[in-house]
């Protein structure tokens, strides 16, 4: 595996610009992948700066950067605070997250992320995890499957799709992505086949990796970890993620409303920096996977 083909960093300059890097600051890239964002951060750090990176995928370890200012932690970023504390870090100056699945994970057939290849139903970002797409497709009840497809894939036909999967697996266990595709053929009109399949795979992948819960846990930790004036820079790829990021920046929580003070003002942890940033047509032309990217940047308000 060549490092250069692992992943093309999306919104690279804009997301790192958003960190307003101080030469001697401490920064975290919680989605290391191919190291594109981390390399750009290191370019802007001085000799006393520090960068910690997280990636739960062991394949990402092949891309580690030989730099004494850099530490790569092979863990899920839901454990951000815990592992930073193990390294003696309690406050940081900036946190960057690129929430997309890496190009490498999509392009390696046996990982089972892509609709393009016939592969075992897997979709685990952490290959040591017990739950895989095989478990979700073959062991979830019809209602559980329908809920996953509706909530995470935003599929209107979620109940019918779930019923078809359950009916088919009674005769034979569904083991590969192409077997699943064949079962669902009646729901895949030619004009919309790719879009619907992508929604189904997205839903199962989010469930397998607990992506929504993980994102919530991570975002709440940023409030505590970022120093006053610290920067949060997050790239998301679908509305479920983007809503959570937007809500945290606006309200400091995902549901309900923050408590007002004596004067009727909300106390919120972040101030939004500028407007939502999306890729240029040129970037999308060069890297089609950037087409749905959304970048939000915020500053930690003095607590």
| Reported confidence tier of residue 3, pLDDT bands at 50, 70, 90 | very low
What is residue 2's predicted lDDT score, i.e. its pLDDT?
A: 40
Pick the residue with more confidence: 264 or 253? 253
Find out whether 167 and 208 touch, Cβ atoms under 8 Å.
Answer: no
Q: How far is CA 101 from CA 71, 192, 209, 242, in A?
A: 22, 22, 11, 15
Find out whether 34 and 58 touch, Cβ atoms under 8 Å.
Answer: no
What is residue 35's predicted lDDT score, i.e. its pLDDT?
A: 93
* Domains, the chain, ordered by start: 3-103+212-300 (3.40.50.150), 130-208 (1.10.150.170)
With 50 as the cut, is the pLDDT of residue 283 above it? Answer: yes
What is residue 116's predicted lDDT score, i.e. its pLDDT?
A: 66
Mean pLDDT of 48-53: 98
Find out whether 44 and 93 touch, Cβ atoms under 8 Å.
Answer: no
Between CA 53 and CA 222 the distance in angstroms is: 14
Mean pLDDT of 43-47: 98
Mean pLDDT of 228-236: 97
Percent of the chain with pLDDT over 70: 91
What is residue 4's predicted lDDT score, i.e. its pLDDT?
A: 41
Q: Which helix (H) or strand (E) holds 228?
A: strand 226-236
Q: For residue range 163-212, what is the model confidence (pLDDT) as tens digits?
A: 999 999 999 999 999 999 999 999 988 888 888 998 999 999 999 999 99
Percent of the chain with pLDDT over 90: 72
Rounded to two decimals, the pTM is 0.88
Q: For residue range 115-133, what is the model confidence (pLDDT) as tens digits?
A: 666 788 988 887 788 899 9
């Amino acid at each position: 595996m060549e490092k250069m083909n692992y992943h093309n960093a999306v919104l690279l300059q804009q997301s790192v610009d958003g960190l307003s890097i101080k030469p001697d600051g401490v920064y975290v890239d919680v989605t290391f992948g191919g190291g594109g964002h981390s390399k750009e951060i290191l370019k802007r750090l001085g000799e006393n700066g520090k960068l910690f990176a997280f990636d739960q995928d062991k394949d990402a370890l092949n891309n580690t950067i030989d730099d004494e200012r850099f530490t790569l932690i092979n863990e899920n970023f839901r454990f951000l605070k815990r592992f930073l504390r193990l390294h003696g870090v309690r406050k940081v100056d900036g946190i960057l997250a690129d929430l997309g699945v890496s190009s490498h994970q999509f392009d390696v057939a046996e990982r089972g992320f892509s609709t393009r290849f016939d592969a075992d139903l897997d979709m685990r970002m952490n290959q040591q995890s017990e739950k895989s797409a095989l478990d979700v497709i073959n062991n979830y009840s019809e209602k559980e499957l329908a809920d996953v497809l509706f909530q995470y894939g935003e599929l209107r036909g979620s109940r019918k799709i779930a019923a078809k999967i359950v009916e088919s697996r009674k005769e034979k266990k569904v083991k590969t992505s192409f077997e699943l595709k064949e079962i669902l053929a009646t729901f895949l009109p030619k004009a919309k086949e790719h879009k619907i399949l992508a929604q189904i795979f997205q839903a199962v992948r989010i469930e397998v990796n607990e992506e929504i819960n993980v994102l919530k846990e991570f975002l709440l930790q940023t409030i505590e970890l970022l120093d006053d004036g610290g920067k949060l820079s997050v790239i998301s790829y679908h509305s479920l993620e983007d809503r959570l990021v937007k809500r945290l920046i606006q309200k400091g929580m995902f549901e309900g409303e923050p408590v007002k003070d004596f004067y009727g003002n909300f106390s919120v942890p972040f101030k939004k920096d500028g407007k939502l940033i999306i890729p240029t047509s040129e970037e999308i032309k060069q890297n089609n996977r950037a087409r749905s990217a959304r970048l939000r940047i915020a500053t930690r308000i003095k607590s």
